[in-house]
Structure 1
Amino acid sequence: MRDRWNAFMPYPDADVVHAATGPLSRFRLAVKDLFDVAGYPTAAGSAAVLAASGIKPLTAPLVQTLLDAGACFVGKTKTDELAYSLIGGNIHFGMPINPRDPTLIPGGSSSGSAVAVAADLADIGLGTDTSGSIRLPAAVNGLIGWRPTHGSLDDRALRPLAPSFDVPGFVTRRLEAMAAVMSAVGMPAASDQLPSILIAEDIFETIDDRVADKMIAGLRSAAMPVRRTGAISSFSLADLALAFTTILQGEAWECNKTLFEQAPEAIAPDIAARLLSGSRLDDGQVREARAIAKLFSGEIDRWLGENVVVALPTLAMSAPTRDAEPENFAAFRSACIKLLCLSGLSGCPQLVFPITDCAGNVSLSLLGARRTDSMLVYVARQVGAE
């Protein structure tokens, strides 16, 4: 395969068998290099992890499920180092190129999977989402992105970053393909009960007023009831983002402590700095963050228990250029976490999709109750995602 978008890891080809027929038999599958695939190493975006990997003898169960459903494996895709970024860069293996706008970052950490799908080198991109690693690259590349209900998909033979938030996730170009993936991995069918859409003013205040107005107008034009509230939570978005980041950094350190202690010089400076931040957290900070997460999860459950879907912009600001300064990347990451953390803290599924009638590269999201993943596709169709 000719990969001028730099989406795939340059591994020698190995024979990966898939079923001749099945619900995914017409789809090509790209797999983030965090999942084991028999015949390939698993690098997790790290030269040190690659050196220690060896060739894996077994395929991750979730990948095998997709192969058994007929999906054809086309390669392992690049990721930010240790899946610990939202930008899409990697000092060891390079940054994939955003096919929609090559001047912009591809987003991460599932950068390669998103780029492969956006460039039509794959139909299904399997990745992971901890703090937005499916949703952000999907938004930046103009794709459908699905962060499933936490714990609903098999995550064995998948290298962890922060288990409280880690989930496998997918990107596709069309909702039809995403619906097929959801069915193939065993998600329950959507209920035929029409939900209402909740718009929280504090969330939409984080983005440009003109874009927010167009998004809200589009939601109101759908044949679904719309409700409004002043705030999504008793906590500010900044407080929720801080709690999320605290838990994430603490768990990322625990998952990568051994690697860091063995070869700190092999880790990119920005990734190493975030790992060290996690090492310096005290137990009280983590306990407080987990208490906030628990309370917020309860608040979201009360909203969504009323047959409600929360609508929100996927990103809080436009993606920076790939040659932007580190402080611009940091500002982008910080702004976007305020919205991306909501699904992680609550454990609820989120579906993102491009909005075609808004100027620029704009993505809308739907957040639903746990195990209502398939319903989000139905609602997305109602609000004009395709």
Structure 2
Amino acid sequence: MSVIEDTVHAFCLDNPAIQAPTGHGVLSGLRFAAKDVFEVADTRTGFGQPDWLASHPPASINADCIERLLAAGAALAGRTVSDELCYSLTGDNAHYGAPRNSWGADRLSGGSSSGSAAAVCAGLVDFALGTDCGGSVRVPSSYCGLLGLRTTHGRVPTRGLLRFASEFDCIGWFARDAGIFERVARVLLPEAREQGAFRRLLIATDAFAAVDTAIADAFAPALETLSAQIGATHDVRLSEDGLDRCFETFRIIQAADVWSALGDWVTRTRPTLGPGVRERIEQAGQIGAAELRAAQAHRAEIVARLDTLIGEDDVVVLPTTPRPAPPRGGGDDALETTYRFQAMSLLCSAGLAGLPQMNLPLAMKDGLPLGLSIMTRRNGDMRLIELAGQVCPQAPVPPDAVRP
């Protein structure tokens, strides 16, 4: 297998991982990359954090999803950079840098599955594995103009995946080509099968109201495309008490879960953490039992509302992110506070309810991709993928990327 020339700094240098296919199947001839949270036999998984890399032994086996992909004929071309401990959406790791977004050298690729998205965006691999807890597949797929799926929570087996916040952690993947995306789904989604067309498009008006008018206007042609494909449309509100409150509920539950997974290691190791991640880890250790109980109760209300709101043949449409990829190296405080809050308010509903959500690269703003998401009921992953293939068979290719 030829070595990839990493033109976008997407691949890990300190703990590379390459494996040949172990079988033949629907993925034969394809190359993929895997985020630095999936175990690869005889190599160390770094979690985007050098102290983690140094303090953990090599894996004894491959992660379940990597085993499946290799058995289906795909070749693992490399391990990709992750945001530190997966606790960021920016795509800029204080220790390993920011993988380059091929849509602009001055733009971030988004996190935390930054390297995986950057590698697919640049055309270095055919598809790539990522994970999504709060938006870590959806954000980079929006920034990089890719098809990207957050799967139904628990749908893809997570054996061999580093734990971050298991209440929300999901495996997902990126691709430019909808046909390739669907082939990966046949391997990773148990009992994957065609599920039939959606009959109603639910437009999440509170989500569109949460973005600037110019951004909302940029989505208009894409909404027309979806509406023409599906037919009936209906306006809905995802939340009765505000998407900002939904995010606060998500933040509390996620933080408590993160501390449960990482708190002991952080306390013992005292790792050097980058800005933003350091503050969130500190806050995670301060979540109280009463605060968590109240958040869990509110989560139950949110789940019940979404279960009632989204019918069997409904698909929800909403902005994936509040804007295109932000500039690299500018306004870090705003990225880690104000913008994170805006993005997470859009992203949290799927996480709280365990729903599948897929980014469609159907819109552009100022020459940059702007992702539009489709979301549906639990286990409707294949329906989203089928709809994506109908309205977006091929993602746009950046001018300086490797052509398919």
Q: Is TM > 0.5 for Structure 1 vs Structure 2?
A: yes
2:292 equivalent to 1:286: yes
After the TM superposition, which parts of structure 1 deviate over 4 Å for at least 4 consecutive aligned residues? 11-15, 356-359
RMSD: 1.8
* In 1: Cα distance, 2:390 partner to 2:213 partner: 23
Q: Where does 1:316-327 land on structure 2 (aligned, <5 Å)?
A: 316-327=322-333
Letter in 2 for 1:292: H
1:172 is the counterpart of 2:175: yes
CA distance in 1, matches of 2:306, 2:386: 21
Shift of 1:162: 0.8
What displacement does 1:216 show?
A: 4.2
For residue 113 of structure 1, the aligned residue among 113, 116, 120 is 116
Residue 130 of structure 2: aligned partner? 127
- Look up the match of 2:160: 157
Give the unaligned 5+ runs of structure 2. Answer: 395-404
Shift of 1:201: 1.3
Deviation at 1:366, TM superposition (A): 0.3
Question: In the alignment, does 2:41 pair up with 1:33?
Answer: no
- What letter corresponds to residue 380 of structure 1 in structure 2? A
1:273 is matched with which residue? 279
Displacement of 1:278 in angstroms is 1.3
What's the offset of the Cα at 1:382? 4.0
Q: Is the 8 A contact 2:11 2:79 kept in 1?
A: yes
**What residue number does 1:192 align with?**
196
Q: Is the 8 A contact 2:197 2:387 kept in 1?
A: no
- Judge conservation of contact 1:190–1:372 (CA < 8 Å) in 2: no
Counterpart of 1:327, as a letter, is D
Which whole-Å CA distance do the structure 2 matches of 1:346 and 1:216 have between them?
A: 27
SS at match of 1:23: coil
Letter in 2 for 1:354: P
Looking at structure 2, the residues matched to 383 and 120 of structure 1 have their Cα atoms a distance apart, in angstroms, of 21
CA distance in 2, matches of 1:14, 1:170: 18
> Who is 1:147 aligned against?
150
Task: Report deviation, 1:164.
Answer: 0.6
Where do 5+ consecutive residues of structure 1 fail to align? none
Residue of structure 1 in register with 2:402 after alignment: none
Matched with 1:369 is: 377
Q: What does the per-residue CA deviation read over 1:87-145, in whole Å, with 9 as the maximum and x for residues that have no partner?
A: 11222222211111111111111011111111111111101100000110111011110
1:59 corresponds to which residue?
62
Match of 1:345 in 2: 352
3-state SS in 2 of match to 1:31: strand
Q: Please give the residue correspondences for 1:218-237 in structure 2 after superposition, counting only pairs within 5 Å.
A: 218-221=222-225, 222-237=228-243
Task: Measure the CA separation in 1 of the matches of 2:17 and 2:193.
Answer: 35
Q: For 1:293-320, what per-residue CA distance to the aligned partner results, in whole angstroms no more than 9, with x for missing partners?
A: 1111111111223410000111012332
Once residues 290 and 141 of structure 1 are traced to their aligned partners in structure 2, the CA distance between those partners, rounded to angstroms, is 33
C-alpha displacement at 1:15, in angstroms? 5.8
Question: 1:193: how far off?
Answer: 4.1
Q: Is the 8 A contact 2:88 2:276 kept in 1?
A: no
Q: In the aligned structure 2, how far is the partner of 1:203 from the partner of 1:385?
A: 25
1:202 is the counterpart of 2:191? no
Change (3 A) 1:198 1:381: same
CA distance in 2, matches of 1:304, 1:14: 41
Match of 1:83 in 2: 86
- With normalisation by structure 2, the TM-score equals 0.91
How far off is 1:186 after superposition? 3.1
User: Which residue in the other structure is 2:257 paired with?
Assistant: 251
The verdict on how the C-alpha distance between 1:192 and 1:306 changes in structure 2, with shifts beyond 3 A counting, is closer
Amino acid of the structure 1 residue aligned with 2:43:
Y
Query: Quick one: distance in 2 between partners of 1:148 and 1:181?
Result: 12
- CA deviations on 1:353-373 (whole Å, 9 max, x unpaired) are 211466542111000111110
**1:72 matched to 2:79:** no
Q: Distance in 2 between matches of 1:317 and 1:372?
A: 27
Give the aligned residue type for 2:379: R
- The corresponding residue for 2:362 is 355
- Larger CA deviation: 255-264 vs 144-153: 255-264
For normalisation by structure 1, the TM-score amounts to 0.95
Aligned position for 2:25: 22
Aligned residues: 386
Out of 284, 303, 306, which is 1:300 matched to? 306
State, as a whole percentage, how many aligned pairs show the same letter: 32
Partner Cα separation in structure 2 for residue 316 and residue 91 of structure 1: 24
Equivalent residue for 2:216? 212
Whole-Å separation in 1 of the counterparts to 2:230 and 2:39: 42
Is contact 1:253–1:278 with CA below 8 Å preserved after alignment? yes
Please state whether the residue corresponding to 2:276 is helix, strand or coil.
helix
3-state SS in 2 of match to 1:266: coil
